[in-house]
Amino acid sequence: MGYIKIELDKVNAWYGDNHVLKDLSLSIFEKSVTAIIGPSGCGKSTLLRVINRLHETVEGARVSGRVLLDGKNIYDDDIDPVDIRRRIGMIFQQPVAFPHLSIYDNVAIGLKLNGFKDKAMLDKMVEESLREAALWDEVRSRLMDKGISLSGGQKQRLAIARAIALKPEVILMDEPTSSLDPVAGAKIEDLIINLKRNYTIILVTHNIQQAARVADYIAFLYMGRLIEFGPARRVLESPEIELTEKYLTGEFG
């Protein structure tokens, strides 16, 4: 299956007294797409937030267990969560374009905050990121236009360009196409498939067909527990757990 980029070991997560993730252990393989599926409220988005240490930013939230990135626990005392969020980028459900910033600065903002000042270098990295996000040809002549002038699908690719400008190793995507029309969603799916050549991708989706199209591995969560994990085709076509089959055939969820 390849090199394990992220290893979750008996991870538990709470919001106050609400126990959201329960003894979850899971391996995420490098330069692959792992789709996290399951009904609403099963902990999918919380899992992403635990992996890049956003979970702890919520008052009353806490985590136990280990999340290993290249074998190192990201919750160790000597780890800077800001560094983890640079190495593990996040794409949210609603496309985020900073309204007061140009298309160029929407991509460059993370670079500038991380100390990049050389204009030629910024120009190069912004162009490379927009190309990698399959957006350069659509915006190259209007980089100084506001980011909010873009369509929903373009804004989502802009958010992806902003994330990859910082050269993360892992990209987390939380329902990245749920607010988009089918054509824009298909472009994001094509982009996901291309991006896995350079990045490890974890995708939360309610769309089983989308998981079938883009995922190499599938993890099925139910009520905060990992029910089944394996190669996408095997899980979708011949699940080993009855509960997985019931979810995939629409008996609940």
Average pLDDT over residues 79-98: 93
Q: Give a yes or no: residue 139 inside a domain.
A: no
At 206-246, the pLDDT tens digits run: 999 999 999 999 999 999 999 999 999 999 999 999 999 99
Q: Tokens representing 15? A: 């919001």
Nearest partner of 203 among 156, 235, 171, 227, judged by Cα: 171
The Cα angle at residue 236 between residues 196 and 159, in degrees rounded to 5: 30
Q: Using 50, 70 and 90 to split pLDDT, how confident is the model at 33?
A: very high
Q: Which residues of 184-221 are buried (b: 16+ CB within 10 A; e: fewer)?
A: bbebbbebbeebbeebbbbbbbebbebbebbbbbbbbb
Q: Is the pLDDT of residue 253 over 80?
A: no
- Is residue 101 a part of any domain in this protein? no
pTM score: 0.94
Nearest to 68 by CA among 84, 90, 57: 84
pLDDT for the residue numbered 251:
86
Whether 122 is covered by a domain: the verdict is no
Task: Specify if 107 maps to a domain.
Answer: no
Domain count of the fold of the chain: 1
Is residue 120 assigned to a domain? no
Q: Which of 137, 164, 153, 146 is nearest to 105 (CA)?
A: 146
- Strand residues in the chain grouped as ranges (E): 4-15, 18-29, 33-37, 61-69, 72-73, 88-91, 170-174, 200-204, 217-222, 225-231
pLDDT band at 91 (very low <50, low <70, confident <90, very high): very high
Asked, for residue 40, whether it belongs to a domain, the answer is: yes
The CB-side HSE value for 53 (13 A sphere, CA atoms) comes to 19
* Whole-angstrom distance, CA of residue 69 vs CA of residue 5: 6
Residue 141 placed within a domain: no
HSE, side-chain direction, 13 A CA sphere, residue 105:
10
In Å, what is the CA distance from 93 to each residue of 45, 51, 144, 240? 10, 17, 25, 30
Domain assignment present for 177: yes
Give me the CATH number covering residue 242.
3.40.50.300
Report strand pairing: 225-231 vs 217-222.
Answer: antiparallel
CA–CA gap between residue 201 and residue 96 (Å, rounded):
19
Mean pLDDT of 17-32: 97
- Expressed as residue numbers, the domain containing 92 is 4-96+170-248
DSSP secondary structure code for residue 97 in this structure: -
Please give the distance of CA 253 from its chain centroid, rounded to a whole number: 22
